Amino acid sequence: MSIFTPTNQIRLTNVAVVRMKKGGKRFEIACYKNKVVNWRAGAEKDLDEVLQTHTVFVNVSKGQVAKKEDLTKSFGTDDLTEICKQILAKGELQVSDKERHTQLETTFRDIATIVAEKCVNPETKRPYTVNLIEGAMKDIHYSVKPNKSSKQQALEVIRQLKESMEIQRAHMRLRLVLPAKEAKKLKEKLKPLLQVVESEDFDEQLEMVCLVDPGCFREIDELIRCETRGRGSLEVLSLKDVEEGEEKF
């Protein structure tokens, strides 16, 4: 979709429209696709990366700009950036049926991926595949909630799946051995990936026993191998079931 504004002939392409009704009037802003979701999730902080223009429209596709007096009356200000932020936060993102369907499918897959990364079969202590989790989600007729994050929904899915299959949140218990020279720097890099550090012993090298999410295992393994050039080591000690009360991502 290509849109022209009659006031300054700025050509707007790849437009996502966010619409809001306020004071009995309709207001719209022109944004970049995908950026609206990123902004609302807190992943994007730069407003200029989200807005195509700091202009408030009555109708983006026709290029009709909102009148200053209507903005002041409805929003109590004529500060366009502030009004854009309000519309961005509370407005409704306009998407086609096809786009909405694609978005829901992607989110469904994201939720299944998170569940597969965080859980194991408590009997075998082995993780489930993403495809198996997707199948189980379809069996319980789980429907995606567009206003909730994939992580929030993954927790809900785990709770629901427990009623129909053997599934449990899990942590892996690992022993990390890091050479003294790289230990301090590497520990800082590893810290965001570790859920709980159970013990730490520094002699000629740093030895740590910690709990991690199964989904972080590969990243930790690669980090240790690359940073220590093969001189560090990683050992899986066990899988530990997580209690209900500990459930958070």
The residue ranges of every structural domain in the chain are: 16-94, 97-168, 171-238
Check residue 12 and give its pLDDT: 62
- Nearest CA to 126 out of 174, 167, 173 is that of 167
Q: pLDDT, tens digit, for every residue of 212-222? A: 887 788 899 99
CB atoms within 10 A of CB 112: 25
Q: Is 78 left (phi over 0), alpha (psi -120 to 50) or beta?
A: alpha
Domain 171-238 in CATH 3.30.70.240: yes
- Whether the domain at 16-94 and the domain at 171-238 fall into the same CATH topology: no
pTM (whole model) above 0.75: no
User: Over the chain, what is the mean pLDDT?
Assistant: 85
Q: Write the DSSP assignment of 204-233 as a string of letters.
A: SEEEEEEEE-GGGHHHHHHHHHHHHTT-SE
Quick check: 9 pLDDT over 70?
Answer: no
**Residue 183 is encoded by which pair of tokens?**
């230990």
Quick check: 120 pLDDT over 70?
Answer: yes
> Which residues partner with 175 through β-bridges?
209, 235
Q: Is 155 strand, coil or helix?
A: helix
- Nearest CA to 37 out of 16, 61, 59 is that of 16
Backbone angles phi, psi at 175, to 5 degrees: -110, 120
**Residue 135 is encoded by which pair of tokens?**
């199948």
Confidence of residue 72 (pLDDT cuts 50, 70, 90): very high
Q: Is 76 strand, coil or helix?
A: coil
CATH topology of domain 16-94: 3.30.1250
Q: Which residues have a Cβ under 8 Å from the Cβ of 184 and sit 6 or more positions away?
A: none
The CATH architecture annotation of domain 97-168 reads: Orthogonal Bundle (1.10)
Check residue 14 and give its pLDDT: 67
Confidence of residue 127 (pLDDT cuts 50, 70, 90): confident
Looking at per-residue confidence, does 75 or 103 come out higher?
75
3-state helix, strand, coil in the chain (%, to 5): 45, 30, 30
CA distance 16 to 32: 6
Confidence of residue 62 (pLDDT cuts 50, 70, 90): confident
Check residue 13 and give its pLDDT: 60
Quick check: 245 pLDDT over 70?
Answer: no
Decide: 216 and 234 in contact? Cβ < 8 Å: no
Decide: 58 and 25 in contact? Cβ < 8 Å: yes
**Residue 42 is encoded by which pair of tokens?**
């807190």
For residue 167, with 0-12 CB atoms within 10 Å meaning exposed, 13-18 middle and 19 or more buried, which class applies? Answer: buried
> Which residues partner with 165 through β-bridges?
none
Average pLDDT over residues 190-194: 91
Q: Is 160 strand, coil or helix?
A: helix
